[in-house]
Copies of this chain bind each other. A is one copy, B any other.
Amino acid sequence: MGQRSVTGGRPRDAHIDTAVLDAVSALLEEDGYRSLAIEKVARRAGVSKAAVYRRWPNRQLLVLAELERRMGGVEPPRTGCTLCDLDEALALFARTFRCMGPEFFSPLLADCSGDEELHRRFMDTLFDPPRNAVRDTLERARERGDLRDDVDLTLAVDTLASLVHYRLLFGHAPVDGRETARAVAVLLRGLARDFAALEAEAVGHSATSHG
């Protein structure tokens, strides 16, 4: 929500903030992002248009606020086992993404492109947090010495994260735990110093099947 000068005047009504975001949420579900109009949001929230504009200067930031609210915090897993952590991180990634509504992610991103500042805000809020969970996991794997020395971490993160985003955005194939686990396996075979060792360890944890 918009920062405010603290001095004087009537204080903002906090109920309005939630009422507006609730209305955004409902309208997104009902009519999708494209036909989400601030005027409708205000009407639905039983709030004046000005009250909305006072808090969020445009619909991009308004929707961003709602999706951020939905996303909640993202905590990376720390089991100590590289393969298990990665599986879990990717599953978390997918879950987070899915619960914020992948169908709003794409148009919002599209709407934020073209403006430097908006794009940055989008990335900071929705893109980086879940992605960093994956990155952290990989970094810990490297510190543990599980990865080859010449690994390009950004490339590795992208290869994993992009798969999830890709499928959810285009919807041409499903994303489930089995699929992501396989992707992790294939990739790690290319990245790991000793893939067989990692596999053995993971079987010990018996978290997921790495066949």
Contacts and interface: CB of A to CB of B under 8 A. Distances in A.
Interface of A: 32-34, 103, 106-111, 113-114, 119, 123, 127, 152, 154-156, 158-159, 161-163, 165-167, 169-173, 179, 182-183, 185-191
Total copies of this chain within the assembly: 4
Given A34-B114, A114-B34, A123 B154 contact: no
17 contacts: A33-B110, A34-B110, A103-B113, A107-B110, A107-B113, A109-B169, A113-B171, A154-B173, A158-B163, A158-B166, A161-B166, A162-B167, A186-B187, A186-B190, A187-B190, A188-B190, A190-B190
Contacts of A113: 32, 103, 106-107, 171
A170 to B, nearest CB: 6
B159 A163 contact: yes
A158 B103 CA distance: 19
A169 to B, nearest CB: 7
Contacts of A185: 190
